[in-house]
Every structure is written in structure tokens, then in C-alpha cells.
Amino acid sequence: MRAFVLDHYGKKDGTRIGEMPEPALRPNDVLVQVHAAGVNVLDSKIRNGEFKLILPYRLPLILGNDVAGVVVRVGSQVRRFKPGDEVYARPVKDRIGTFAEFIAMDEDAVAIKPKTLTMEEAASIPLVGLTAWQVLVERANLQKGQKVLIHAGSGGVGTFAIQLAKHLGAVVATTTSAANVSWVKALGADIVIDYREDDFATVLRDYDVVLSSLAGDVLEKSLQVLKPGGKLISISGPPDPDFARDLGLPWIVRQVMRFLSHRIRKLAKRHGVNYSFLFMRASGDQLREIALLVDAGVIRPVVDRVFPFESTKEAMNYVDGGRAKGKVVVKVR
């Protein structure tokens, strides 16, 4: 089968479109013919080798973390799906590879795709949808009337998280550029801060939750907007010791992560708030919940551009540029 393959880590010339073996089917797997695949910042971080410590993939590796397609075969123990089902998924972190004609995934990671969406629209959802759900619903337990700041509101996670937070009844603030202010307001943001003109840390106060996809100064300044007991949840790092423990990483790696996150955890404690890092996990159950919201019209996917499969490298470069509004998708079939 044709696939977009990583041969060696690094930003330059380590990827190619080539032939790879069709994936083997395990008893709990569904084999999906890929119609479309979402493109994420995570794909570039894996390509660049930024996650080698926590995701020790063997190369060559097929990239890709979002998929929508059709089930063509099922394993002997699969009960939820049958050939012909239209599905969407984020495969488990150890078995990525959606930039290909086929992918095998554990049925627990898969859900029937929203009926109201095209394959390209459905492929844009799993990673960002699960990330927003696990931050806002699972970890933050966001309640009606609470206040949440969602950084980078025009990005893939941001566009989804704004809509989900609004559905949960929260007061939603976000940061973006001036060109996107009215656009993110239309998604549901109550307060929009142009990050080029205003300092969010001087405008916002007494927030319950911050969802940050940004690091460095933005992450540290986010502590200032939280009320005592508030939660700063980062999806870009630095990873914390709890994450390393939950992943069962080696002792030396856990110590590295303890060191990397020491400053932000210390600052959070000083402010009387909680800092944690979230690396989204696969969940077909949560994707089923998300599909219900999408089909009910509560959340709509935001797709910036669709690239042909042959232009997967260009699609990744476009995402790397940081100017995409919503998601970028590769059309495989």
C-alpha cells in the first residue's frame, strides 16, 4: 500500500511517499481503508524527533494521527463493527499511521463517524476533539458558569475547545490575532484578546481553567489569570512527573521530566493553582459522545484546507507555519 513514511528524524528530507506492507490484523482490530487523515502539530513533533524519549518508534514509521474511512475487515473478536461501516478514530499512540491507504486499529479506539459530516470533515476531529474533551470534561470538570481561557482560539484544538466549553455553559475567553476576532466570537468565545495588541494576563482575572497549547512566557503568565485552586492544563508541555508515571516510563526519563517541569510546577504552587500536562489518549467511547454533539449541530468542524495525498509534506509544512484556521486534512481516497 502507499504510505507517507518517516525514514529518519529531522525537519529536512526524512519523509517520503512509498510502498509499505498492509498492516496485519489482530483479533480486536478493524482494518480501515483510509479516505482522509487530519494533519496535526503532533505529526511534525514526531517527525522532528521531539518525542523520542516518550514515544520510541521504530523507523521507518508511517506518520498520521487522525483518520476517517471505511471498515474493510474485522478481527475474530470484534463485535462493534462490520465491513462497510464508516468510522473515524485517533489510533493509540503506539500504532499511529493514518497517512496510508489502510490502517489497523483496536476497535476500542474507533467510533462510527458523525453522519452529517464528509470524510474530510470527520478526519479533522479525533485528535483535537479528544484533546478538548479530556482537558475540559475529564480533567477540568468544567461546570456551567465557570470561566475558561483557551489559548490560540483559531487553531485546531482552540476552535473545537471553544465550542465544547460554550456547550458546557462556561464563560469562554481566547487569544488570537486581530484578523480572527469576529470569527472566534462566532464559534462562541465571549472575550477575545488580540495577542499582538493586549496582554491577556493584565485583562483576565479569577479564571477557573486555562487550556494552553503554548509554552514559555505564555504558559507562565497564564498562572496569573487563575483564581486560587484553578487549573492550568498544558497540551504542549513541559511534561510533568504524573504523566511520566502514568506512561510507565523508565526512571531516568521520569527524572528528566521532573526537571523540565520543575519551574512551572514551582510557580503554580506559589500561585496556589494546579499545573498538569495532558497527552491525549485514544477513546472510541469519547468519540461516540463527540459524534452525538456534532450530529446535533452543537459543534461543527473547522477545516482550513484539504491537500491531496501526494502533497502530505506540503500539508505538514502548512501546519508548521502556524497560520491555519482550524484543521488541515489530507485526502487519501
Question: What is the pLDDT at residue 208?
Answer: 98
Q: What is the DSSP string of 189-212?
A: -SEEEETTT--HHHH--SEEEEEE
Q: Is the pTM of this model over 0.85?
A: yes
> Which CATH number does the domain housing residue 317 bear?
3.90.180.10
Note down pLDDT in tens along the chain; length 333 residues. Answer: 999 999 999 987 899 999 999 999 999 999 999 999 999 999 999 999 998 888 889 999 999 999 999 999 999 999 999 999 999 999 999 999 999 999 999 999 999 999 999 999 999 999 999 999 999 999 999 999 999 999 999 999 999 999 999 999 999 999 999 999 999 999 999 999 998 899 999 999 999 999 999 888 999 999 999 999 999 999 998 999 888 888 888 888 889 999 999 999 999 999 999 999 999 999 999 999 999 999 999 999 999 999 999 999 999 999 999 889 999 999 999
> Which cell is 101 given?
491507504
Task: Examine residue 285 and state whether it is found in any structural domain, yes or no.
Answer: no
Same domain, 259 and 136: yes
Grid cell 458558569 in the structure block, residue: 145
Give backbone dihedrals phi and psi of 89, rounded to 5 degrees, phi first: -170, 160
Query: CA-CA distance, 136 to 133, in Å (whole number)?
Result: 5
Same domain, 144 and 262: yes
Helical H segments across 168-311, by residue range: 181-187, 200-203, 217-222, 241-246, 251-260, 262-271, 284-295
Residue 261 lies in domain: 127-277
Same domain, 45 and 136: no
Q: Quick: pLDDT tens for 80-129.
A: 999 999 999 999 999 999 999 999 999 999 999 999 999 999 999 999 99
Same domain, 143 and 263: yes
Same domain, 76 and 94: yes
Give backbone dihedrals phi and psi of 165, rounded to 5 degrees, phi first: -60, -40
CB count in 10 Å sphere of residue 7:
13
Task: Examine residue 289 and state whether it is found in any structural domain, yes or no.
Answer: no
Task: Examine residue 294 and state whether it is found in any structural domain, yes or no.
Answer: no
Task: Examine residue 291 and state whether it is found in any structural domain, yes or no.
Answer: no
Question: What is the pLDDT at residue 323?
Answer: 87
Cross-strand partners of 69: 34, 87
Same domain, 157 and 28: no
Same domain, 89 and 135: no
Domain stops at, among 244, 262, 277: 277
Closest Cα to residue 17, out of 320, 305, 314?
314
Same domain, 81 and 132: no
Same domain, 118 and 142: no
For the chain, what is the domain count?
A: 2
CB count in 10 Å sphere of residue 59:
10
| Close Cβ partners of 75 (under 8 Å, ≥ 6 residues apart) | 25, 26, 27, 28, 29, 30, 107
Task: Examine residue 258 and state whether it is found in any structural domain, yes or no.
Answer: yes
Same domain, 103 and 228: no
Task: Examine residue 283 and state whether it is found in any structural domain, yes or no.
Answer: no
What mean pLDDT is reported for the chain?
Answer: 96
Same domain, 54 and 168: no
Task: Examine residue 117 and state whether it is found in any structural domain, yes or no.
Answer: yes
> Which CATH number does the domain housing residue 200 bear?
3.40.50.720
Could you tell me if 47 and 15 are in contact, meaning their C-beta atoms sit under 8 angstroms apart? Answer: yes
Closest Cα to residue 297, out of 167, 191, 205?
167
Cross-strand partners of 193: 175
Same domain, 107 and 249: no
Could you tell me if 167 and 148 are in contact, meaning their C-beta atoms sit under 8 angstroms apart? Answer: no
Encode burial over 67-87: b for 16+ CB neighbours within 10 A, e otherwise.
Answer: bbbbbeebbeebebbeeebbb
Task: Examine residue 296 and state whether it is found in any structural domain, yes or no.
Answer: no
Determine which helix (DSSP H) or strand (DSSP E) holds 120, and give its type and residue range. helix 119-123
